[in-house]
């Protein structure tokens, strides 16, 4: 992987995620983080409140680093891991789109949740305008991260994401749309927030949905 691609991937997958943390209830006491990467999000949560965080991570180097930050880390494929006990929060941040069967996997983990548990899912929005632009040029892009991450196996619109949650026995509660105009971090992104309020446009500039749901 080239240095620029490596840096982009690190920025996407190795940082704490405040946009996820803000949806974790302050009352949470046992959290399961699927695809926890280096454990930085769980570590930030543990600094904020008294909570046990269990992570599942396939990449051995990430898992070893995460194990220095979290209470327990399973070095395993999310689709086959078997964490012990029950949880009052499930985090699935930018992991479900990497799985062969995100529907069955989410349903299986939902069975580990306490009644009334919170589930926080983030998924890239394939209905972003850039998808149509790439297809009009006759190709499907493969990038180191983002909507077109080369390791994605599944793609979701907002409707698809809500259907994914409902079939797992979960009830969607809130949706946060995160927008970009051209590429993340470009100067044009300053105009994204007001456009996200326009019904006819917001879907086209949403690159990611963060959805909270309850069991």
For the stretch 145-184, pLDDT in tens is 889 999 999 999 999 999 999 999 999 999 999 998 876 6
Tell whether 60 is covered by a domain.
yes
Q: Which residues contact 171 (CB under 8 A, 6 or more apart)?
A: 165, 213, 214, 215
- CATH code, domain with 23: 3.40.50.150
| Residue 195 pLDDT greater than 90, yes or no | no
Mean pLDDT of 93-116: 98
Q: How many CA atoms does the CB half-sphere of 127 hold within 13 Å?
A: 15
Whether 137 is in a domain gets the answer no
Residue 15: give the domain boundaries: 3-125+150-178+209-214
Question: Tell me, what's the pLDDT at 6?
Answer: 45
Look at strands 206-214 and 113-124 and give their pairing. Answer: antiparallel
Higher per-residue confidence, 194 vs 153: 153
Asked if residue 142 is part of any domain, the answer here is: no
Q: What is the pTM of this model?
A: 0.90
pLDDT digits (tens, 9 = 90+) for 38-80: 999 999 999 999 999 999 999 999 999 999 999 999 999 999 9
Domain count, the chain: 1
Question: Is residue 11 domain-resident?
Answer: yes
Q: Of all residues in the chain, what percent carry a pLDDT higher than 70?
A: 92
173 part of a folded domain: yes
Q: Any idea which residue has 């006819």 for tokens?
A: 200
Asked if residue 80 is part of any domain, the answer here is yes
């Amino acid at each position: 992987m080239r240095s620029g691609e490596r840096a982009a991937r690190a920025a996407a997958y190795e940082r704490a995620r405040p946009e996820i943390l803000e949806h974790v209830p302050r009352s949470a006491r046992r959290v399961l983080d699927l695809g926890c990467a280096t454990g930085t999000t769980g570590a930030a949560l543990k600094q904020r409140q008294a909570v046990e965080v269990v992570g599942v991570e396939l990449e051995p180097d990430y898992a070893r680093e995460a194990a220095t930050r979290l209470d327990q880390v399973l070095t395993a494929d999310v689709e086959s891991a078997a964490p012990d006990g029950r949880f009052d929060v499930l985090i699935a941040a930018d992991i479900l789109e990497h799985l062969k069967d995100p529907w069955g996997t989410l349903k299986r983990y939902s069975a580990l949740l306490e009644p009334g548990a919170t589930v926080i899912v983030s998924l890239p929005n394939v209905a972003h305008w850039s998808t149509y632009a790439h297809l009009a040029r006759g190709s499907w892009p493969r990038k180191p991260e983002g909507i077109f991450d080369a390791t994605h196996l599944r793609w979701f619109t907002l409707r698809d994401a809500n259907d994914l949650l409902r079939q797992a026995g979960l009830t969607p509660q809130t949706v946060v749309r995160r927008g970009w105009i051209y590429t993340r971090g470009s100067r044009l992104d300053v105009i994204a927030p007001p456009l996200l309020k326009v019904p006819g446009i917001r879907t086209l500039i949403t690159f990611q949905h963060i959805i909270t749901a309850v069991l």
